[in-house]
């Protein structure tokens, strides 16, 4: 009986030291298949009348991505909720419409939460293409018109905060070839 207990005890002691190594190997293999992006990247909106290229801050603390928008107006199309909005950046103005996915409440420290409409937009960041959710808000007072959150990053990219612009923006020719 004592041998049995000794064997069980040794197994219990050795097992935890083996598991982290296996877990780390799986993690490393998964990370190598992910794109590496910097703390700031260029994104291009896809499926728009003309090229809309914006600078984006990568924020792993935010769940949902956010994009600068003005003239945000909810309306109905075929009995379903939609949102019309204008993206203004530098000399560009692009008015877009998209189905309303949901409304998110953004909590602010020491103030009431703010409700924002959320839409799905197709974007390109280097070789990454994504149909991702963006909350709409006026970000003109921020340095970057786009904030990329975890919902975009999950399973797609890891962030190297020491670098910026580690991806290359999609070219007009590549954009045309994709359409």
Are 49 and 3 in a shared domain?
no
- Residue range(s) defining the domain that contains residue 122: 35-178
pLDDT digits (tens, 9 = 90+) for 74-85: 999 999 999 999
Residues β-bridged to residue 135:
66, 118
Are 73 and 148 in a shared domain?
yes
Whether the pLDDT of residue 22 is over 50: the answer is: no
Are 23 and 57 in a shared domain?
no
Pick from 61, 67, 42, 44: nearest CA to 150? 61
- In total, how many domains does the chain have? 2
Grouping H, G, I as helix, E, B as strand and the rest as coil, residue 24 is helix
Are 12 and 95 in a shared domain?
no
Q: What is the pLDDT of residue 132?
A: 95
| CB 160, CB 166: distance < 8 Å | yes
pLDDT digits (tens, 9 = 90+) for 106-165: 877 888 888 999 999 999 999 999 999 999 999 999 999 999 999 999 999 999 999 999
Are 63 and 149 in a shared domain?
yes
Residue whose pair of structure tokens reads 């919902």 in the numeric block: 151
Grouping H, G, I as helix, E, B as strand and the rest as coil, residue 163 is coil
């Amino acid at each position: 009986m004592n041998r049995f207990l000794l064997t069980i005890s040794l197994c219990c002691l050795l097992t935890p030291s083996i598991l982290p190594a296996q877990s780390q190997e799986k993690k490393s293999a998964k990370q190598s298949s992910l794109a590496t992006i910097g703390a700031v990247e260029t994104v291009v909106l896809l499926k728009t009348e003309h090229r809309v290229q914006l600078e984006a801050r990568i924020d792993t603390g935010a769940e949902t991505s956010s994009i600068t928008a003005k003239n945000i107006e909810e309306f109905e199309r075929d009995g379903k909720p939609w949102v019309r909005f204008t993206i203004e950046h530098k000399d560009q103005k692009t008015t877009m419409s998209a189905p309303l996915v949901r409304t998110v409440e953004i909590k602010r420290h020491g103030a009431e939460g703010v409700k924002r409409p959320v839409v799905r937009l197709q974007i390109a960041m280097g070789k990454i293409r994504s149909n991702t959710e963006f909350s709409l808000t006026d970000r003109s007072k921020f340095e970057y018109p786009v904030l990329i959150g975890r919902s975009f990053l999950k399973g797609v990219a890891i962030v190297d905060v020491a670098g910026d612009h580690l991806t290359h923006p999609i070219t007009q020719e590549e954009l045309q070839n994709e359409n």
